[in-house]
Structure 1
Amino acid sequence: MGMTPLASPELDERTDERSQASPARPWQTVVWNDPVNLMSYVVYVFRTHFGYSREKATTLMLHVHQDGHAIVAEGAREQMEMHARAMHDYGLWATVREAPE
């Protein structure tokens, strides 16, 4: 009389693959340049919402102005979506994307 295994090898392999999967990549909130908002207002928003220093907020604003966009935050998707909604509430154009590898 032989013993029957509790789990098939295929199931064990799938479990192993799942446990070895790399953690999910972070997400990013991206603010895009627009022809409406003043640079000083964008700095104000970054300082007010994110609590960034004047220097960091100014650097990010300059990226938006010169490069057309800037990554203003990175982390969990839900948090980045909250930041994007807040940027919309301030009148800024923002999107959320998965961080590139």
Structure 2
Amino acid sequence: MVSTVIDGVRTDTEQAQELTPASREQRAWETVVWDDPVNLMSYVSYVFRSHFGMTRERADQLMLLVHTEGNAVVAEGSRSAMELHVEAMHAYGLWATLRERGE
């Protein structure tokens, strides 16, 4: 609710909560890697280490989440950065998507 005073008269109006393209870009986004029946677990771990620079332990942990839970968030950041990660995962042959954090 926004209060405005015009000519000594106070009015209360509700402010629209629309997200502009710039504000949507600033919100946190996630790169999600999904389980598939094609890629070996060792390969998924390798991709995480190679592309994201993860330690073997972290890459294996996320790979196991992908395998057992069906997916895992592997990166968070701006929309444009996460779009690049999704494209890279596709280039490696992994199934990955982009989503806003919290969805």
TM-score by length of 1: 0.76
The total of aligned residue pairs comes to 85
The yes-or-no answer on 1:89 pairing with 2:91 is yes
Task: Please report how far the alpha carbon of residue 25 of structure 1 lies from its aligned counterpart in structure 2 after TM superposition.
Answer: 2.8
Give identity over the alignment, percent: 64
- The residue aligned with 1:32 is 34
Q: Which runs of 5+ in 1 are unaligned?
A: 1-8, 15-21
2-side partners of 1:25 and 1:45: how far apart?
26
Structure 1 vs Structure 2 CA RMSD: 2.4
State the 4+ residue runs in structure 1 displaced beyond 4 angstroms. none
**Deviation per residue, 1:40-81 (Å, 9 max, x gap):** 000000000000000000000000000000000000000000
2-side partners of 1:86 and 1:25: how far apart?
21
Q: Which runs of 5+ in 2 are unaligned?
A: 1-9, 16-22
Give the number of the structure whose residues are more often strand, by fraction.
2
- The residue aligned with 2:20 is none
Higher Cα Rg, which structure: 1
Q: How does 1:7-86 map to 2 (within 5 A)?
A: 24-86=26-88
